[in-house]
Amino acid sequence: MPALQFNTPVAPVPGVDPAELSASLSPLRAGERIRLLYERFGPRLVATTSFGIQAAAMLHLIAEHAPKVPVVFIDTGYLFPETYRYAEELTTRLALDLRIYQPNVSAARIEALWGELWSDGKAGADKYALLTKIEPMNRALRELGSDVWLSGLRRSQSKTRAERPFAEQQKKTLKIYPILDWAEAQMAHYFHQHELPSHPLAAEGYVTMGDWHSTRPASTDAAAEATRFSGDKYECGLHLDSGTPDFQI
């Protein structure tokens, strides 16, 4: 298996102060934010999607306001069949410039060599994230020449996201969250207004979406955090704090 390639921290995106950028984005509507970012950064922009429960909203905004931005989809090899079908539906409907990235090691090989890493404590989960998510994402950014990353994270999704600014530097990459301040009601209104389909598993009680082995439906009294990784964590492995070792070129 090729060696994993991770870089040490380097200088931030030249000429960009994340705090100032956050302040300038705050009063704008989501579509205006995306349009402004495309005008400023152009081909340096990349977006990501997991084709999760509410992914269609962010993808629709990109299709409407910056359709040339490539959208990276990390296929871990462990996604629900419904996620793959949802991805096909949205990609066709929104004419996305979808770029699919997969781990350099297959799911079968991961299990043969290391077993079910996702259930092997923090060390196993971290190794799993490095193999199936971080390495492919690093490779995508490197091959696409992108250093400004659009993501659909929202503060209302979990307590781990409650204090995030609209823009933050994560090693070499500037991460920006155009719908960070959207509440559930605004999300629901946007879906209704544009007649967007939800992930098929939303109807079965799923409120967040990831790999099949680490995601379960929500109970009536459980927060979204409790539906991922048995409640031990919520973040999938990509949206971590800026100090996380070996993360992000």
Indicate the pairing of strand 98-101 with strand 71-74. Answer: parallel
Number of domains, the chain? 1
Residue of 155 and 92 predicted with greater confidence: 92
Instruction: State the Cα–Cα distance between residues 79 and 210, nearest whole angstrom.
Output: 7
- For residue 2, being part of any structural domain is answered with no
- For residue 244, being part of any structural domain is answered with no
Q: Which residues contact 141 (CB under 8 A, 6 or more apart)?
A: 46, 147, 149, 173, 248, 249
| This prediction's pTM | 0.84
In eight-state DSSP terms, residue 151 is -
How confident is the model over 3-36, as pLDDT tens digits?
Answer: 433 333 334 566 789 999 999 999 999 999 999 9
Range of the domain at 57: 30-231
- For residue 135, being part of any structural domain is answered with yes
Is 237 a residue whose pLDDT tops 90? Answer: no
Give residue 8's pLDDT: 34
Indicate the pairing of strand 173-176 with strand 148-150. Answer: parallel
pLDDT band for position 232 (50/70/90)? Answer: low
Give residue 248's pLDDT: 53
- For residue 77, being part of any structural domain is answered with yes
The yes-or-no answer on residue 151 being catalytic is: no
- For residue 128, being part of any structural domain is answered with yes
Is 159 a residue whose pLDDT tops 80? Answer: no
Across the range 76-98, mean pLDDT stands at: 97
Catalytic residue among 62, 98, 105, 236: 236
Looking up residue 79, the CATH number of its domain turns out to be 3.40.50.620
Share the mean pLDDT of the chain: 85
DSSP string, 61-87: HHHHH-TTS-EEEE--S-B-HHHHHHH
